[in-house]
Amino acid sequence: MTELAAAKAALKTQAVETPSWAYGNSGTRFKVFAQAGVPRDPREKLQDAAKVHEFTGVAPTVALHIPWDRVEDYAALAKFAEEHGVKLGAINSNTFQDDDYRLGSICHPDAAVRRKAVDHLLECVDIMDATGSKDLKLWFADGTNYPGQDDIRARQDRLAEGLAEVYERLGEGQRMLLEYKFFEPAFYTTDVPDWGTAYAHCLKLGPKAQVVVDTGHHAPGTNIEFIVATLLREGKLGGFDFNSRFYADDDLMVGAADPFQLFRIMYEVVRGGGFTPEVAFMLDQCHNIEAKIPAIIRSVMNVQEATAKALLVDREALAAAQASGDVLEANAVLMDAYNTDVRPLLREVREEMGLDPEPLKAYKASGWAERIAAERVGGQQAGWGA
């Protein structure tokens, strides 16, 4: 198989999970912006996600956020998803919006609040059982704002205790993905601030616990591809939350701020054997001023382009240049792949998959945006907190 044929075959197997919350209204801490046609319930979110998969062919699963996507019958919701051509993916917990969590959730100094938080995480595992989901994704807003506010080490002990209880509840084929974020909303200490802290907890928990890398959750200048390479080497990279950042956790469309960084990350994924179902490619984005579905389609396409370029790196030439210490040639090999226009290749891939080669144009021509704007009138639109 030629290099090009191998790249095309790999691209046809790619899967990018879209987040249910990205289809709802979102905004900044100053304002949540409403748009016409935004879903009003989890089923309508799944309908929109199905459209993304219909036109891209590589977005077969949808992540849920609990309680935002809470329903009475999760098995029925999973069936509804499958009837529309998608499946339910990761179950994301929410331990950051209740008043009780002002001083933290799983790390809170009050045992009663910690119990509430852990019970919520256990509920999420119950939902995994009902939906067939394999991933429980955990992000904690826990931390402190002032020196002396709480015992830093004690908070780590509480975190470890809570995670261990949830870990023991995981069933066969299920796993825990622990996310990190270096600041916000806690500004003095964050209880899971970096990949090392997440890795340490996951290592102690066992093989069902892995680290998830949100590409927006790093300080400026952080070499994310190094983190990816190291976690892959240790067998602890569970997945990604793809988005872009200019300043902090901007949650912009993936590849919008620094497409070269996305390429570098994807090269380490490919080089490290991470282009497998065991490393989940998930989006985590807030489409505040742009139309939801087209923005998600664009993000999926951006991931595809970065992946295609990573697959086209001449690894033999790169290894030879590295071994000989030829710095300029090694860099040139990477840059040649990055500068390749892979859009014609991806159009071919889509055509071979029976898809329209231009997903955004095809979606626009489908009339779906006009249809949902006309039909989804009345009721409460989904958004942050719903």
Domain assignment of residue 199, yes or no: yes
Residue 257 pLDDT > 70, yes or no?
yes
Give the whole-number percent of the chain exceeding pLDDT 90.
Answer: 96
Please report the pLDDT score of residue 140 as a whole number. 98
Domain assignment present for residue 296? The answer is: yes
> What is the number of residues in the chain?
386
Residue with tokens 């489908």: 366
CA pair distance 183, 119, nearest whole angstrom? 25
**CATH value at residue 103:** 3.20.20.150
**102-160 residue pLDDT tens:** 999 999 999 999 999 999 999 999 999 999 999 999 999 999 999 999 999 999 999 99
Residue 146 falls within a domain, yes or no?
yes
Can the peptide bond before residue 185 be classed as cis, meaning omega within 30 degrees of 0? yes
At 386, the pLDDT band (50, 70, 90 cuts) reads low
What mean pLDDT do residues 194-216 have? 98
Predicted confidence at residue 278, as pLDDT, reads 95
What is the extent of the structural domain holding 33? Answer: 12-311
Domain count, the chain: 1
Predicted TM-score (pTM) of the model is: 0.96
As a whole number, mean pLDDT of residues 225-246 equals: 98
pLDDT of amino acid 3: 84
Q: Convert the pLDDT of each residue in 333-376 to its tens digit.
A: 999 999 999 999 999 999 999 999 999 999 999 999 999 999 99
pLDDT at 177 over 90: yes
Residue 385 has pLDDT above 70, yes or no: no
3-state secondary structure at position 282: strand
- Reported as a single tens digit per residue, the pLDDT across 274-332 is 999 999 999 999 999 999 999 999 999 999 999 999 999 999 999 999 999 999 999 99
CA 344 to chain centre: 27
Angle at 193 between CA 147 and CA 96, to 5 degrees: 85
Note whether residue 180 is domain-resident: yes
Which whole number is the average pLDDT over 61-71? Answer: 97
Mean pLDDT of the chain: 97
Q: Is 367 exposed, middle or buried (0-12, 13-18, 19+ CB in 10 A)?
A: exposed
Query: Does residue 353 form part of some domain?
Result: no
Instruction: Provide the CA 301 distance to its chain's centre, in angstroms.
Output: 15
The token pair that represents 40 in the structure block: 């009003």
106 found inside a domain:
yes
pLDDT the model gives residue 12 = 97
Q: Is the pLDDT of residue 1 over 90?
A: no
In a domain, 292, yes or no: yes
* pLDDT for position 213: 98
pLDDT-based confidence at residue 28 (cuts at 50, 70, 90)? confident
Of 73, 72, 68, which is closest to residue 22 (Cα–Cα)?
Answer: 68
Confidence of residue 29 (pLDDT cuts 50, 70, 90): confident
Q: Examine residue 317 and state whether it is found in any structural domain, yes or no.
A: no
- Residue among 293, 291, 302, 197 nearest 244 (CA): 302
pLDDT of residue 197: 98
